């Protein structure tokens, strides 16, 4: 039984492949990295949600000066309902209170439906921009709802979560990222 | 009527798979529309599974189709339109991966594989034949003569 | 009760598989007839129990037994009977039961039909089959049990994905699995041969019918999937290089290479290590396909629910099966005696080239499918690989295969002459060239389609030329030729049909893609339009009710140039309320040479309309019309190929096993042959 090296090549290739497939089981193919990380927030301007008194729309300039959590949501989006309590908890967190803003983009929604949604669940957002055409969201590279962006005081996008915020996600990714950005201070 | 005429213009078009597009989305200039479709067929619909934005009925696909057509009408080159989308969504939106160091194996692999395997086969065949064609040593020649001779005696 | 019977049957089958996977191996080592014979009994019994379990699952689905979780999750009382039966395998758990059912079916077939196989070989083959059965039955019982109960049982099920409620669903997976799982037999033969340390022409002859059976089934399965996509997904495409489609074409390409490689082993006792490797690789690709579809590592139209735990299990099975066999290969392949030298220009040489190209095409599809995953795992960079990549890389490899496939059958074994073979093909070349010139002159058509048309025609004509050569057409009296034709072995016809069928597929794809006409427009009832010489009149649109859906159904009438009615087309757009999903039902009229393909969309501007709701009589509707020339040839060609495979399979020469060797009377000397 002579062991010729070339007959071991298929085995070697397969072992490498199997290792790759194994590693692949723990990846998240649906969560895409944003190419806008560390880049300035694109220029957008959104009107307020019709019928919601006291809550203004916003433009990119309004994001400068404070760290902002920008959440894209819609009344027709079921995971948005599921993550809503997390958003409310975020603004109530004593360590973050007063140091962050929570803005919302209402994505491709009918104003009446959005109002009903906020009426039912409560409004955690300081400002809401109504993006009925979805164009502003495209400027941000949004491909699904909900998505959440973290924008620093200079107006740079620092983090994007293309998934609903679960309690786990909040503790392991969002809050640490927020703390890191806040700790940096003005750059 | 205009829609019917537009349709007629496309009757002579070469193969295109644009299939979720509605008549009101199509551009009036057939050359621009053809360009837009060609670009759209290389862009992935991110909320679908394995469809281009031209093939998908999803809202995001519709929006991106509109953007591609806007950019094309505005005079952007094909590359510029694609870059516009890639700068917002990343490389993943491309159905045809860009040629860059990370994808050299992907693009050059098949050709290299054929060339390499082909060369290996040819070399081995040559070596086998040269072994087979090597002349007999004196001992081997004598052994052959003995065997052949003994058979000739028997029959 | 039915659920418990099913579950218990699976457990018993597992026990039998354990027996089948161990004792016959021992028996083969020790040459113990009773232990080797145990393999056959176990295989047949295992099949009986799995059939019982499968039957129980289907029964539960038909009886609307929603206390069983898989039935509750995938069925509904209003679902038509056909889909209650077929839906039993339309989900992950049920499809795995179908998988082991077919595995056991093949095992029992080897036990029943492999009477002429030498007992040690047969025992080892059945043992390997048994081990695969152990792996998958364990997988089912521990991670994907279809008989799990749900309490309290819901009054109604969740329903089946409307896209899957289609006759094509009933037949596509079984054929596909017959292919995937059928290659397990060839794999088992290869492993058995490596254990024995011997590959010879007899082995190749025994392996051939199983390879042909699996390959033919896989060809039909892939063709059905493609046809289903064409008429069901509503946009006339038939191949998207989707990961799951790729998962089926990879073993097909490897299996085709295997078929041809085994011929060389059988006829010339050469290419042994390559053939054994291909046998292992083909089944490995089947297993990898199973892994890709069910583990969630790739996004695809087809993916079943994603569960990393299941993914790890299937990957473990894949690693053991492929890793074990390849390790055996690394150790044993050098021992296979090399015989039958041949010149590069010969039929063997051509088959080596064929092997190389098919394997390269297969490797390219593997690479394109897995690259995003591997790159992500290695560097975190996320890219995507879609149809433009595959079309640019795989098609140029298929082209030389198509061209060579016409030449190779006309070449002799061992040493041949290319010029003679090409001379015999002058007529084929002339036809292909003339057709290409005519097509280009008449249509100025896309050059890729013209070239593909030429290649396909070349292949069809080449296959017919080979047949003509065999009967010495025009060189001997026509009566003699016909007599020769009648006495040709089936495998000769099989080859002509397989190669010719491939040519038909290529011609079909070339014309359907290259010369397709499309028209997308808004039409109101009463409007007419013309497309490619045909007039399409939009008669009316109405709301209709189906068993578990509502739809907008349009009626259109197609007339030819002279005004004669060709067909009435009724495309629909359906809404399935239980699943809250819309589907498009295209209306296709075919005359065998082309399709009229009509799709009805939404009324102008109402992109979120629910089909089946009130109809505005004055609205204009989005209508998509296509004329696809020679589209049905794609599937006719595939069926011809599969038929050729089955024809070869039933060749009497295939079924003769090793002749019985009578022992010589003691003391006599062997006589020399005359």
Q: Å from B36 to nearest chain C CA?
A: 16
> Are C382 and B4 an interchain contact pair (Cβ–Cβ within 8 Å)?
no
In sequence order, what are the residues at sequence separation of 6 or more whose Cβ sits closer than 8 angstroms to the Cβ of residue C648?
Answer: C208, C212, C490, C491, C494, C495, C498, C654
When mean pLDDT is compared over C334-338, C418-422, C471-475, C628-632, the highest value belongs to C628-632
Question: Which tokens hold the place of B85?
Answer: 């989308």
Domain ranges of chain A: 34-184
The reported pLDDT for the residue numbered B14 is: 31
Burial readout B112-142 (b: 16 or more C-beta within 10 A, e: otherwise): ebbeebeeebeeebeeeeeeeeeeeeeeeee
The reported pLDDT for the residue numbered A1 is: 44
d(CA C394, CA C253): 11
> Are A25 and C323 an interchain contact pair (Cβ–Cβ within 8 Å)?
no
To the nearest whole number, what is the mean pLDDT of chain C? Answer: 88
Residues of C in contact with B129 (CB under 8 A): 341
Q: How confident is the model at residue B18 (pLDDT cuts 50, 70, 90)?
A: very low
Rounded to an integer, the average pLDDT of C373-382 is: 88
Alpha helices by DSSP H, C233-271: 243-268
The reported pLDDT for the residue numbered B6 is: 37
Nearest by CB to B92, which of C359, C383, C393?
C383
Distances (CA, A) of A19 to A26, C139, C293, C516: 12, 21, 18, 44
ipTM: 0.85
Residues of C in contact with B98 (CB under 8 A): 383
The reported pLDDT for the residue numbered C635 is: 94
R_g over Cα of chain A? 21
The reported pLDDT for the residue numbered C349 is: 87
> Are A1 and C331 an interchain contact pair (Cβ–Cβ within 8 Å)?
yes
Smallest CA–CA distance from B59 into chain C, residue: C607
Q: How confident is the model at residue B5 (pLDDT cuts 50, 70, 90)?
A: very low
> Are B46 and A144 an interchain contact pair (Cβ–Cβ within 8 Å)?
yes
Residues of B with CB under 8 A from a CB of A: 46-47, 59-60, 63-64, 67, 86-92
**pLDDT value at B2 more than 80:** no
Nearest by CB to A7, which of C323, C329, C377?
C329
> Are B88 and A144 an interchain contact pair (Cβ–Cβ within 8 Å)?
no
Residues of C in contact with A21 (CB under 8 A): 288, 291, 297, 315, 318, 370, 373
**pLDDT value at C667 more than 70:** no
Give me the residue label for tokens 């427009």: C521
The reported pLDDT for the residue numbered C551 is: 92
Residues of C in contact with A33 (CB under 8 A): 380, 382
Residues of A in contact with C325 (CB under 8 A): none
Smallest CA–CA distance from B90 into chain A, residue: A35
> Are C330 and A23 an interchain contact pair (Cβ–Cβ within 8 Å)?
no
Neighbours of chain C (3+ CB pairs under 8 A): A, B
The string of pLDDT tens digits covering residues C474-489 is 888 888 888 888 888 8
**pLDDT value at C211 more than 70:** yes
The reported pLDDT for the residue numbered C661 is: 55
The reported pLDDT for the residue numbered A120 is: 92
Among C471, C461, C507, residue whose Cα is nearest residue C632: C507
Q: Å from C669 to nearest chain A CA?
A: 34
The string of pLDDT tens digits covering residues C156-169 is 888 777 777 778 77
The reported pLDDT for the residue numbered C437 is: 93
The string of pLDDT tens digits covering residues B27-50 is 888 899 999 999 999 999 988 877
The reported pLDDT for the residue numbered C200 is: 84
> Are B46 and A35 an interchain contact pair (Cβ–Cβ within 8 Å)?
no
Rounded to an integer, the average pLDDT of C371-380 is: 89
> Which of A5, A35, A162 best probes binding to B when mutated, by most B CB atoms within 10 angstroms?
A35
Rounded to an integer, the average pLDDT of C49-74 is: 91
Phi, psi (degrees; rounded to nearest 5) at A67 = -70, 130
When mean pLDDT is compared over C228-232, C590-594, C655-659, the highest value belongs to C590-594
Rounded to an integer, the average pLDDT of C2-7 is: 91
To the nearest whole number, what is the mean pLDDT of chain B? Answer: 80
The reported pLDDT for the residue numbered C65 is: 87
> Model pTM?
0.89
Residues of A in contact with B86 (CB under 8 A): 35
Among B47, B129, B40, B116, residue whose Cα is nearest residue B81: B40
Number of Cβ pairs < 8 A linking chain A and chain C: 84
The reported pLDDT for the residue numbered B133 is: 65
Residues with pLDDT less than 70, chain A: 1-3, 186-187
> What's domain A34-184's architecture?
3-Layer(aba) Sandwich (3.40)
**pLDDT value at C669 more than 70:** no
Q: Å from B109 to nearest chain A CA?
A: 14
**pLDDT value at B132 more than 70:** no
Q: Å from A155 to nearest chain B CA?
A: 17
B148 touches chain C (CB under 8 A): no
Among C496, C494, C464, residue whose Cα is nearest residue C653: C494
Q: Would you call C528 exposed, middle or buried from its count of C-beta atoms within 10 A (0-12, 13-18, 19+)?
A: middle
The string of pLDDT tens digits covering residues C540-578 is 999 999 888 899 999 999 998 888 988 999 999 999 888
The reported pLDDT for the residue numbered B122 is: 84
> Are C311 and A17 an interchain contact pair (Cβ–Cβ within 8 Å)?
no
The string of pLDDT tens digits covering residues A119-166 is 999 999 999 999 999 999 999 999 989 999 999 999 999 999 998 999
Q: How confident is the model at residue C584 (pLDDT cuts 50, 70, 90)?
A: confident
Window 13-42 of B, Cβ < 8 Å to C? 13-24, 26, 41-42
C580 touches chain A (CB under 8 A): no
Structural domains of chain B in order of their starting residue, each with its CATH number: 2-93 (1.10.8.640), 101-154 (no CATH)
Nearest by CB to B47, which of A34, A133, A143?
A143
């Amino acid at each position: 039984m002579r062991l010729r090296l070339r007959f071991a090549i298929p085995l070697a290739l397969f072992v490498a492949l199997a290792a790759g497939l194994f590693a692949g089981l723990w990846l998240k193919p649906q969560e895409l990295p944003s190419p806008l990380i560390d880049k300035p927030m694109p220029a957008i301007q959104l009107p307020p949600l019709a019928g919601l008194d006291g809550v203004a729309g916003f433009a990119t300039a309004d994001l400068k000066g404070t760290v902002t959590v920008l959440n894209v949501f819609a009344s027709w989006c079921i995971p948005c309902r599921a993550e809503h309590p997390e958003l409310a908890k975020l603004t109530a967190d004593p360590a973050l209170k007063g140091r962050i803003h929570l803005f919302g983009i209402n994505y491709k929604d009918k104003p009446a439906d959005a109002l009903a949604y906020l009426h039912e669940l409560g409004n955690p957002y300081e400002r809401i921009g109504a993006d009925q055409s979805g164009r502003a969201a495209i400027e941000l590279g949004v491909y699904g709802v909900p998505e959440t962006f973290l924008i620093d005081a200079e107006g740079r996008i620092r983090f994007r979560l293309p998934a609903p915020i679960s309690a786990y996600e909040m503790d392991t990714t969002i809050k640490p990222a927020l703390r890191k950005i806040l700790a940096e201070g003005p750059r | 009527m205009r829609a019917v005429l537009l349709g007629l213009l496309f009757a002579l078009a070469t193969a295109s798979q644009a299939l979720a597009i509605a008549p009101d989305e199509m551009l009036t200039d057939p050359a621009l529309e053809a360009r837009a479709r060609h670009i759209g067929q290389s862009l992935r619909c991110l909320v679908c599974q394995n469809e281009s934005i031209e093939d998908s009925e999803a809202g995001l696909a519709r929006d991106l189709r509109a953007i591609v057509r806007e950019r094309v009408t505005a005079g952007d080159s094909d590359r510029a339109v694609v870059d516009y989308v890639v700068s917002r969504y990343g490389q993943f939106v491309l159905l045809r991966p860009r040629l860059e160091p990370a994808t050299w194996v992907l693009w050059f692999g098949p050709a290299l594989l054929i060339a390499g395997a082909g060369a290996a086969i040819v070399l081995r065949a040559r070596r086998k034949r040269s072994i087979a064609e090597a002349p007999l040593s004196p001992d081997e020649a004598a052994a052959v003569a003995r065997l052949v001779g003994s058979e000739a005696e028997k029959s | 009760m039915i659920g418990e019977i099913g579950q218990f049957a699976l457990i018993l089958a597992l026990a039998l598989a354990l027996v089948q996977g161990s004792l016959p191996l021992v028996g083969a080592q020790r040459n113990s007839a009773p232990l080797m014979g145990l393999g056959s009994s176990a295989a047949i019994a295992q099949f009986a129990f799995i059939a019982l379990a499968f039957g129980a699952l289907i029964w539960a689905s038909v009886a609307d037994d929603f206390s069983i979780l898989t039935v509750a999750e995938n069925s509904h009382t209003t679902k038509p009977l056909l889909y209650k039966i077929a839906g039993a395998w339309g989900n992950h758990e049920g499809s795995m039961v179908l998988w082991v059912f077919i595995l056991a079916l093949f095992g029992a077939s080897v036990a029943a039909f492999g009477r002429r196989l030498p007992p040690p070989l047969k025992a080892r083959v059945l043992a390997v089959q048994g081990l695969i059965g152990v792996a998958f039955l364990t997988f089912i019982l521990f991670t994907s049990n279809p008989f799990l109960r749900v309490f309290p049982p819901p009054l109604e099920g969740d329903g089946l994905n409307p896209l899957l409620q289609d006759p094509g669903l009933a037949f596509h997976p079984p054929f596909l699995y017959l292919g995937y799982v059928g290659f397990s037999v060839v794999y088992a033969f290869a492993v058995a041969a490596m254990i024995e340390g011997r590959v010879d022409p007899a082995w190749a002859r025994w392996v051939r019918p199983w390879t042909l059976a699996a390959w033919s089934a896989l060809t039909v399965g892939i063709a059905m999937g493609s046809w289903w996509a064409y008429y069901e997904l509503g946009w006339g495409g038939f191949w998207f290089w989707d990961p799951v489609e790729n998962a089926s074409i990879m073993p097909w390409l490897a299996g085709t290479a295997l078929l041809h490689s085994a011929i060389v082993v059988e006829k010339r006792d050469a290419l042994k290590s390559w053939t054994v490797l291909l046998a292992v690789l083909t089944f490995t690709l089947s297993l990898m396909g199973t892994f890709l579809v069910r583990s969630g590592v790739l996004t695809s139209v087809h993916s079943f629910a994603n569960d990393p735990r299941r993914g790890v299990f299937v990957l473990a099975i894949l690693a053991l099966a492929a890793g074990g066999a390849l390790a055996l290969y690394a150790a044993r392949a050098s021992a296979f005696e090399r015989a039958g030298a041949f010149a590069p220009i010969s039929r063997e040489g051509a088959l080596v080239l064929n092997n190389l190209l098919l394997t390269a095409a297969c490797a390219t599809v593997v690479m394109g499918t897995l690259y995003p995953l591997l790159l992500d795992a290695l560097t975190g960079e996320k890219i995507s690989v879609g149809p433009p990549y595959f079309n640019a890389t795989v098609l140029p490899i298929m082209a030389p295969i198509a061209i060579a496939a016409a030449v190779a059958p006309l070449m002799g074994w061992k040493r041949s002459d290319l010029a003679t073979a090409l001379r015999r093909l002058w007529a084929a070349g002339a036809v292909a060239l003339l057709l290409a010139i005519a097509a280009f002159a008449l249509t100025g058509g896309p050059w890729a389609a013209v070239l593909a048309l030429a290649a396909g025609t070349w292949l069809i004509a080449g296959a017919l030329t080979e047949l003509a050569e065999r009967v010495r057409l025009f060189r001997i009296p026509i009566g003699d030729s016909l007599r020769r034709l009648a006495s040709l072995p089936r495998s000769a016809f099989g080859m002509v049909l397989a190669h010719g069928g491939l040519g038909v597929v290529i011609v079909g794809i070339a014309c359907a893609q290259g010369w397709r006409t499309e028209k997308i427009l808004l039409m109101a009832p009463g409007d007419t339009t013309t497309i490619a010489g045909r007039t399409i009149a939009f008669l009316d649109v109405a709301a209709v009710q189906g068993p578990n859906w509502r739809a907008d159904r349009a009626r259109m009438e197609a007339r030819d140039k002279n005004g004669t009615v060709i067909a009435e087309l009724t495309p629909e757009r359906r809404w399935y309320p239980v699943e809250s999903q819309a589907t498009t039902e295209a209306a296709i009229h075919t005359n065998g040479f082309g399709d009229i393909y009509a799709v009805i969309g939404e009324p102008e501007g109402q992109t979120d309309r629910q089909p089946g709701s009130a109809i505005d009589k004055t609205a204009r509707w989005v209508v998509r019309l296509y004329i696809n020339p020679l589209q049905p040839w794609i599937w006719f060609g595939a069926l011809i190929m599969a038929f050729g495979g089955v024809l070869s399979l039933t060749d009497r020469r295939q079924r003769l096993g090793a002749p019985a060797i009578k022992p010589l009377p003691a003391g006599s000397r062997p006589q020399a042959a005359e």
